[in-house]
Amino acid sequence: MSKTSNGSPATAAIKAATNPMVSPLLTDLYQFTMAYAYWKAGKHQERAVFDLYFRKSPFGGEYTVFGGLEECIRFIANFKFKEEDISFLRSVMPTCEDAFFDYLRKVDCSDVEVYAISEGSVVFPKVPLMIVKGPVAVVQLLETPFVNLVNYASLVTTNAARHRFVAGKSKTLLEFGLRRAQGPDGGISASKYCYVGGFDATSNVAAGKLFNIPLRGTHSHAFVSSFMSPDEIVDKALQSRDGSRTCKDFVNLVQAWLSKLQRTDSLRGIFGETNQSELAAFISYALAFPSGFLALVDTYDVMRSGIPNFCAVALALNELGYKASGIRLDSGDLAYLSVQVRKFFCAVEKEIGVPGFSRTFITASNDLNEETLDHLNKQGHEVDAYGIGTYLVTCYSQAALGCVFKLVEINSQPRIKLSEDVSKVSIPCKKRCFRLYGKEGYALVDIMTGENEPPPKIGERILCRHPFNESKRAYVVPQNVEELMKCYWAGKSVLPLSLNAFLLWLCYIFLLKHVWC
């Protein structure tokens, strides 16, 4: 997977769902009981249309980013009951006729159509993310897995997008949530959809392999505290980057640079004797990864030990033609520490004369979330990258998106779900959905029309109305009209399953005045 394409043409065979647990049995029992009742009544082949949508944008926000379409198409492309599935269903539905299970053996999705908004798109409440059309019994069996595959995917993609919006386009965002995710699939899904939502890399190696997501990571505090002193380092040799020479004692070279730093006027008094076990760990890591040396500097004392030790190793690497990747802060006042670290780097560049050293990368972690990033921005900081885990992948501030899957048409007859709670009233009939754009290219509004109604036209004044709130209405004269729903499946794959790069122009989202027609 890349952010712009999954690479496979529409005619290529579609792989199975990423998680092997995604099978026709990954559904609620009532889907099978309804399927049997449809079959028993002779209604199972009737043509039905269902909308998959959500009622309210998550996290108290105004938008959602759609995720999960690719996995839904993978699921239906491989939808088939195995004999062991049939045997299990017989055991839990013992009163059902044998002919029903014969019917299930033949069920696939060759008579199903799926229309959807492109994955990675910004979407809004009530507008269908997916429209699924086909035999009512078959489409009913797709309800729970589709909602499952879209719900968390869209929620975590949106969470990632919100973090990207707050962090800004220039910052690097790293997803570090695997160890805190809800199980292995939660971790894999989070890595994939955080990448779709605007993150740059993940620490999750399995996700890197599965989806071609860039991997990033360094060492832990355990690595630092496992060393006692530089005397433990046995192989001290390091070849220069261009291979022209070999430094036989890299440890001695680092210690010489540390002494030079201690004698430098502008740095004198900032640190004294640094922690030697930390220094040993940094040297060992640099010897292992001289081209990718990124050090965790807060195991003991950031400014009095971690940063001086890092700088000594980085300067020794620089002498051999390498460039250190940077440092990571994982505790303390991140805004203050990042500013102090940047000042130290600037002083080193000025006094030692190493061009670019002042711009050495500073990464921050430690239970970061959207609010933390906002607070850091308001305080002022020098952080270049954020490693974000728990609050990101668990979607801590909202448990679920709340997607629903509602029947809107059967046998070409509209159907509606009524409720005393107006937010739960469904919008009947098979729809077309359009996004209207203004003169400056910004999206103005999304509207829905009946399938057979004329589409909105460029330059033609349109009255857009909210279906449940008469006071929400607006006249719009679109300068461009984009039809949102595309056919991705019509018994076979119709369009490539390409993921849109998440557009970082999220500022325009807040200009959208979303009403329905």
Average pLDDT of the chain to the nearest whole number: 92
pLDDT of residue 512: 42
Give DSSP secondary structure letters for 50-113: EEEEESS-GGG-S-EE---HHHHHHHHHT----HHHHHHHHHH-TTS-HHHHHHHHH--STT-E
Q: Given a cut of 80, is residue 415 above it in pLDDT?
A: yes
Q: Given a cut of 70, is residue 515 above it in pLDDT?
A: no
Mean pLDDT, rounded, for 218-229: 96
Q: Given a cut of 80, is residue 1 above it in pLDDT?
A: no
pLDDT of residue 499: 56
Token pair for 120: 């990675």
CATH domain 29-197+396-511 topology: nicotinate phosphoribosyltransferase (3.20.140)
CA neighbours closer than 13 Å in the CB half-sphere of residue 207: 26
What backbone torsions phi and psi does residue 295 show, to the nearest 5 degrees? -110, 140
Long-range contacts: 353-358, Cβ < 8 Å, 24+? 354/315, 354/318, 356/323, 357/314, 357/318
SS3 at position 445: strand
Q: Given a cut of 70, is residue 186 above it in pLDDT?
A: yes
pLDDT of residue 272: 83
Strands 431-437 and 443-450: antiparallel
CATH domain 218-383 topology: TIM Barrel (3.20.20)
Q: Given a cut of 50, is residue 500 above it in pLDDT?
A: no
pLDDT tens digits along 327-339: 999 999 999 999 9
State how far the alpha carbon of 509 is from the alpha carbons of 12, 61, 358, 442, 481, in Å.
35, 10, 36, 9, 17
Handedness of CA 178, 182, 187, 193 (dihedral sign): negative
pLDDT of residue 8: 40
* β-sheet with 431-437: strand ranges across: 443-450, 431-437, 480-483
DSSP single-letter state for residue 383: -
pLDDT confidence band for 2 (50 / 70 / 90): low
pLDDT tens digits along 199-213: 999 999 999 999 999
Mean pLDDT, rounded, for 288-317: 97
Break the chain into its structural domains and give their ranges.
Answer: 29-197+396-511, 218-383
pLDDT confidence band for 269 (50 / 70 / 90): confident
pLDDT of residue 160: 97
Same topology, domains 29-197+396-511 and 218-383? Answer is no
pLDDT tens digits along 97-138: 999 999 999 999 999 999 999 999 999 999 999 999 999 999
